[in-house]
Amino acid sequence: MRILKLIALAAVLSSAAPALAYYTVQDTGDLLKPKEMRFGAEAQFITHGDTTGVNAIGRFDRGLNSDMNLRFEVGAGTTDMVAAAYVKWVPFPDFEKQPAVGFTVGGQYAHYNSHSEVALRVIPFASKAFETDIGMLTPYAALPFAFASYNGDNFVPVQLVLGSRYRSPDVKQCDFTAELGFDIHQSPNSITIGAIFPAFE
């Protein structure tokens, strides 16, 4: 009986509509110190999926302790409205030859086409900072997945995300980010560019 229930659940999840909402990562294993804060902004270009278009997102990060940060997001665009809150945990920091490895977990609410999507997102990621002749590059890779519900359907969107953060020695006002999101299961393909502004207390 339990096996039949699992098969039925898998069938429902695999047949549900793909995610239409805003899904990006735009983060590395970099951590803020406790009480430090930081703003960021990004533009997401959805290139393939049930809908295409552009979303604009603002972010606020806050250091929680030595290995955890909080993140809050709000935005609009092709997705009428999106709001999210996350906790980022980095148990393995970027140290010598070891890349940073961590997880971001949180909830997201989005609204479009008169319907709402609610998702619990889990984002395992890894990143590594490198000093180069043109500045500091921090490439990252992530495999985000979610447990989502939209218009009465439940589904599990999965992506592969590849991106990088760039700090120019000539630009002190912000760092730059760019990433590609690839559909693995019921997710949009996207290109996202962003800016991360200096931390403050």
Q: Using DSSP, how many helices (H) and how many strands (E) does the chain show?
A: 1, 13
Q: Per residue of the chain (201 residues), give pLDDT as tens.
A: 444 343 334 333 334 445 555 789 999 999 999 999 999 999 999 987 667 889 999 999 999 999 999 999 999 998 889 999 999 999 999 999 999 999 999 999 998 888 899 999 999 999 999 999 999 999 999 999 999 998 888 999 999 999 999 999 999 999 999 999 999 998 889 999 999 999 999
Nearest to 31 by CA among 125, 106, 118: 125
Distance of alpha carbon 54 from alpha carbon 83, whole angstroms: 16
Sequence-distant (6+) residues with CB within 8 A of 172 are 198
Other Cβ atoms less than 10 A from the Cβ of 129: the count is: 17
Using alpha carbons only, give the angle 108, 113, 117 rounded to the nearest 5 degrees: 20
pLDDT number for residue 19: 53
pLDDT number for residue 160: 97
Structure tokens at 65: 């302790």
Other Cβ atoms less than 10 A from the Cβ of 3: the count is: 7
pLDDT number for residue 9: 40
CATH number corresponding to 2-196: 2.40.160
Q: Provide the CA 112 distance to its chain's centre, in angstroms.
A: 19
Long-range CB contacts (within 8 A, 24+) of 128-136: 128/94, 128/99, 128/100, 129/28, 129/30, 129/94, 134/168, 135/166, 135/167, 135/168, 135/169, 136/166, 136/167
Distance of alpha carbon 105 from alpha carbon 125, whole angstroms: 11
The residue extents of the domains of the chain are: 2-196
- 134 neighbors 161 (Cβ within 8 angstroms): no
Longest dimension (CA), the chain: 64
Residue 53's region, left for phi above 0, alpha for psi from -120 to 50, else beta, is left
Distance of alpha carbon 6 from alpha carbon 3, whole angstroms: 5
